[in-house]
Chain A
């Protein structure tokens, strides 16, 4: 579903060039859950942005469902690939109601019967019709993240990219959101790509994961490898020991 081949991303400043991603290659089969782990500054978000065609790759290709991702992609690409942002306190428009937030992508992608789809999307994420006409500030953090997920799901994507989806939430709410995402993934056969710095969380959610450091993928392992401590790379070992 996702094929990333030898992707490099450079950022240019007046005086120097920073290589944010250096020769990253990985592939994620359809319907599986892939995790990306690393410290801040390791290039996780840059990779996600390159997959969303928000940042141009200097070289290499990103393919999603067989199509090469280019800048200014067609509308159909945006429908197929959706993203949940890290901070649900910042990613919902504060002057739009939940109804408008979920309805907007439906209108952009010309879906029929928005009324029914909005209610279904809310139901999918465990919110009721009573939440439909509320503003984001009238919702708790967990409810906001549910709205952000509902907004993605409403337009029936194939791939969902989640950038630290629970780092702004309490652990008890994190557990609810994680269970919700995993249930939806199974029901709808979604391909998920999750960024997190929380190794136990990634081990719980993902089939396979990549460890990034300074723009380089150090190692790609399965979650079982992580649990069995079956890692080879020095940096991964260090990360694993500091997270326990």
Chain B
């Protein structure tokens, strides 16, 4: 199992008024299992996923005391080295299949392209492997879907095609950035079940990025709660039922629940102390 080790990761974006910090000293390690990263918009969770993938724009400045994947220093890696890892060793599933898939290529061609790129498999062999993957992600008529364009498949199916594309590189680490936010509640459960089965079968590690505390608590083994570019709390998913940090508590309490009826939903005020840099 390849380890991802990150110590004191800092990312800031250049702007007219000076650098804007997005991540302020993140420690993280993944060695198998399912890690959840939860936070609200602007907490830096997507920046985190993109930093690991090496997909940050040129305006970003990245620094870290340690940033290693499978023993390789990611900060020192050349563009070519990073490109050879992207998709092949670290895969990513994007948020919305409507935007992340190429609209003018058939679904099958997009999967087959990954086999060509990562394994040099072309032609009939690539098609056969792509069809296998489509069935592995539980698409009922792989032969038909193979020749369809992204706009012809539903959101849930599109999201499964995105897993198939990510799996084609056979990565050791899979990053899923809000993979279910474009899906219905009923499709969501079956999608997560499928994701879980696939990472277990293939012995992959997973980083699941989400804004939904409830979903992450049910699905992941470990959870990082982020706010303002820092980690507020790190705990096992089971402990998320009894959070320690005031931010996590607030986030858990403001969700409406069928179990209790309140005259008003709970809200919470953000403590400026949470934004202060932790030593």
Contacts and interface: CB of A to CB of B under 8 A. Distances in A.
Interface stretch (B16-24, B28-36, B49-57, B263-271): B263-271
Given A174-B254, A198-B256, A179 B265 contact: yes
B88 interface: no
B83 interface: no
Nearest to B255: A171
Contacts of A238: 186
What size tier do the contact residues of chain A reach? 20 to 34
A114 B189 CA distance: 49
B189 A242 contact: yes
Interface residues of B, number: 26
A170 B41 contact: yes
Given A170-B40, A170-B41, A178-B265, A203 B185 contact: no
A147 to B, nearest CB: 17
B184 A40 contact: yes
A172 B185 contact: no
B262 interface: yes
Interface in A3-41: 39-40
Contacts of A141: 41
A61 to B, nearest CB: 30
B124 interface: no
A170 B181 CA distance: 12
B265 A204 contact: yes
A22 to B, nearest CB: 20
A159 to B, nearest CB: 23
Contacts of A179: 264-265, 267
B251 interface: yes
A244 B266 CA distance: 20
Most buried by B among A141, A173, A175, A243: A175
A227 B258 contact: yes
A212 to B, nearest CB: 13
A172 B251 contact: yes
B184 A200 contact: no
Contact of A170 (B155, B211, B257): B211
B254 A171 contact: yes
B256 A200 contact: yes
Contact of B265 (A175, A227, A242, A244): A175
Contacts of B243: none
Interface of B: 40-41, 155, 184-189, 211-213, 250-251, 254-258, 261-262, 264-268
Interface of A: 39-40, 141, 170-176, 178-179, 182, 197-201, 203-204, 226-227, 238-239, 242-244
5 contacts: A39-B185, A39-B186, A171-B211, A176-B267, A179-B265
